[in-house]
Amino acid sequence: NLDISMLVSSGRRVLSVTRARLLSTVAVASMEDGSLRAHVSRRGREAPALLPRYLSDARGVETFDAVSRPDGVLQLSVAENQMISDWLVPRIRSIAASPASDAHGGGAGLFEQADIFYQQTHGTPQCRAAVAAHMERVLCGGSYPIDPDKLVVGAGCNAVLENLLFALADAGEGVLVPRPYYAAFEFDLRARAALEVLPVAIRRGGFEASGYYPTADALEAAYASALSRGIAPRVLLLSSPNNPLGFCYPEEVLAECWDWAESKENLHVISDEIYAGSVYRTPADGQPPWTSLATVAARRGRQLGPSAHLVWALSKDFALSGLRVGALYTENEAIRTPLQKLNDLCQVGSPTQAIVSRLLTDQLDAATPRKLWCAAMEEANAARLRSRYDRLTAVLDQGGLRYLDAGAGLFLWIDLRPFLSYGDSGPPQRENSGSWAGAVGVEEALLPAREAEAERALYLRLIHEFGLLLTPGASMRSEEPGLFRCVFSAATEEGFEVALQRFARLAAAPRAT
């Protein structure tokens, strides 16, 4: 018997996300209730189980509110950016209130006469043009042309990604994804598209970014493993800037992955670049420069071609997850029409498209003082992200806690392995310890039971003893237990200050080992 309202204190947003996830548990219970015997499809029954389960562990948790619940838990596991609403809300309000520009005139409001009727299923020409221009600038600094006619705008990055996968792979075929990865890929790829997620074991060497770079060898091992299990890998799904690791893949890493994929027959590459506009540290800070797969193509003087595709969205760089606007870019003519038609099932409403068109095209309008609004917002956002990164890492440094050097996105990947407790028997022995090649494949995607239990215990301890709700690595298919993702943008400034104090207290706590 869940008391969902108890879980939620810091506003509707947290309610919405958390509630939807927690309700999974209710449904599973209901399905076992004999009073509801109406047929439910297998895929319907299984869908909720594809969601990360760690949030249901947080049920009953009271979340932080500076006024009403200062001792509440800080929700740092939802990938949202709460730091730029002062830029976005007034801007969007002003757009919504500005007069329509169509010939009919007569009345304020952004809504045009033609907006009420069916639009092109892959997005209005205005919206696609605006998104294309923006992607061209942010993804690849103008070095690679993004043609609006090769774009499909749909109801979120998950929606366009799912559609792209429908067109590239049939049910039961596989998608290679380097570990660790965005937990919801499991849902997005499997729930309706019925694809097999093929987690690629990557880790080698010490705890540093380069130890997480996918290599041709690692991909080859996962590819061969899938084939040996009768699964045809069709897609390699890359995420850069990486979620959850918080860094950009260097150009040579992208190039190695792409070259490897091209060496295979019928293997596509999808580059998920949803955090491309959230890069806050640069080569001057020792970070690899942000490089889109489109930039790799441009430097090679080639096209992305029919088997390399990009996805992006407004949810992260603009913190507009509520608008549900994603875009996919493909030069594959054979799938463009299927994609346009499939997108009929996840279109963006015309008012939202109108807002996005105006939000993104202002940057092109040389005649107004708002000319560089998007770029100015990005600069401010980067400065704020960097400030939080610096403050959080300073606390961790001081307390001797390790984390992955990061520079893009909203995340810090924190090493809390010293806090893992295995009781008297000590940590479990791993076969192939230190060798990534032995841990390839779906079967090994989950941690060994004792490791998973130790991580979950730590996850719960972080919540209940330290008031920190982080994303546990196991939910993101981390290869080792005890690594946690912290979304350092997912708190108000007051909340973040409290988070820093709590991290300091954690750092001061005794290690298990």
Window 440 to 499, contacts with a second copy (CB under 8 A)? none
Residue linked to tokens 């215990």:
457
| Whether the Cβ atoms of residue 2 and residue 59 lie closer than 8 Å to each other | yes
Q: Is 63 in the site for a second copy (CB under 8 A)?
A: no
Applying CB under 8 A, among 218, 313, 319, 408 the residue interacting with a second copy is 319
**Alpha-carbon distance 452 to 476, whole Å?**
12
Phi, psi of 198, rounded to the nearest 5 degrees:
-115, 90
Task: Choose the stretch contacting a second copy; rule: CB under 8 A; options: 63-71, 85-93, 271-279, 462-470.
Answer: 85-93
Applying CB under 8 A, among 60, 90, 141, 289 the residue interacting with a second copy is 90
- Considering beta carbons, is residue 31 or 383 the nearer one to a second copy? 31
Q: Is 187 in the site for a second copy (CB under 8 A)?
A: yes
Task: Choose the stretch contacting a second copy; rule: CB under 8 A; options: 242-250, 322-330, 409-417, 475-483.
Answer: 322-330
- Considering beta carbons, is residue 139 or 269 the nearer one to a second copy? 269
Query: What three-state secondary structure class fits 369?
Result: coil
- x/- mask, a second copy, residues 134-173, rule CB under 8 A, reads ---------------------xx-xx--x---xxxxxx-x
Between strands 483-487 and 411-415, the pairing is: antiparallel
Site for a second copy in 40-59 (CB under 8 A): 40-45, 47-48, 51
Reported residue count of the chain is 513
Q: Which residue, 134, 148, 151, 80, is CA-closest to 358?
A: 134
Least distance to a second copy from the beta carbon of 129, Å?
14
Task: Choose the stretch contacting a second copy; rule: CB under 8 A; options: 238-246, 323-331, 408-416, 457-465.
Answer: 323-331
| Whether the Cβ atoms of residue 209 and residue 218 lie closer than 8 Å to each other | no
Site for a second copy in 96-135 (CB under 8 A): 96-97, 100, 104, 106-122
- Considering beta carbons, is residue 122 or 477 the nearer one to a second copy? 122
Applying CB under 8 A, among 2, 4, 66, 95 the residue interacting with a second copy is 95
Site for a second copy in 324-353 (CB under 8 A): 324-325, 332-342, 344-352
- Considering beta carbons, is residue 186 or 451 the nearer one to a second copy? 186
Applying CB under 8 A, among 27, 437, 500, 507 the residue interacting with a second copy is 27
Q: Is 380 in the site for a second copy (CB under 8 A)?
A: no
Least distance to a second copy from the beta carbon of 442, Å?
20
DSSP 262-308: HTSTT-EEEEE-TTTT-B---GGGTPPPP--HHHHHHHTT---GGGE
Applying CB under 8 A, among 236, 311, 323, 385 the residue interacting with a second copy is 323
**Alpha-carbon distance 92 to 94, whole Å?**
5
- Helices 350-361, 125-140: inter-axial angle, 10-degree rounding: 40
Q: How big, in percent rounded to 5, are the helix, strand and coil portions of the chain?
A: 45, 10, 40
Cα–Cα separations (whole angstroms), residue 309 to 151, 164, 346: 10, 9, 19
The long-range contacts involving 7-11, CB below 8 angstroms and separated by at least 24 positions, are 7/58, 7/59, 7/60, 7/61, 7/62, 7/63, 8/63, 9/62, 9/63, 9/64, 9/65, 9/68, 9/69, 9/72, 10/63, 10/64, 10/65, 10/69, 10/72, 10/75, 10/495
| Whether the Cβ atoms of residue 336 and residue 120 lie closer than 8 Å to each other | no
Task: Choose the stretch contacting a second copy; rule: CB under 8 A; options: 82-90, 207-215, 240-248, 284-292.
Answer: 82-90
Applying CB under 8 A, among 7, 58, 88, 138 the residue interacting with a second copy is 88
Site for a second copy in 246-275 (CB under 8 A): 265-268
**Alpha-carbon distance 92 to 318, whole Å?**
11
Task: Choose the stretch contacting a second copy; rule: CB under 8 A; options: 210-218, 278-286, 305-313, 411-419.
Answer: 305-313
Applying CB under 8 A, among 2, 53, 59, 192 the residue interacting with a second copy is 192
**DSSP assignment letter at 117:** S
**DSSP assignment letter at 134:** H
Applying CB under 8 A, among 30, 210, 421, 513 the residue interacting with a second copy is 30
- x/- mask, a second copy, residues 210-249, rule CB under 8 A, reads ------------------------x---------------
- Omega before 241 within 30 of 0, i.e. cis: yes
Applying CB under 8 A, among 8, 64, 80, 197 the residue interacting with a second copy is 80
Task: Choose the stretch contacting a second copy; rule: CB under 8 A; options: 218-226, 316-324, 415-423, 441-449.
Answer: 316-324
Query: What three-state secondary structure class fits 97?
Result: helix
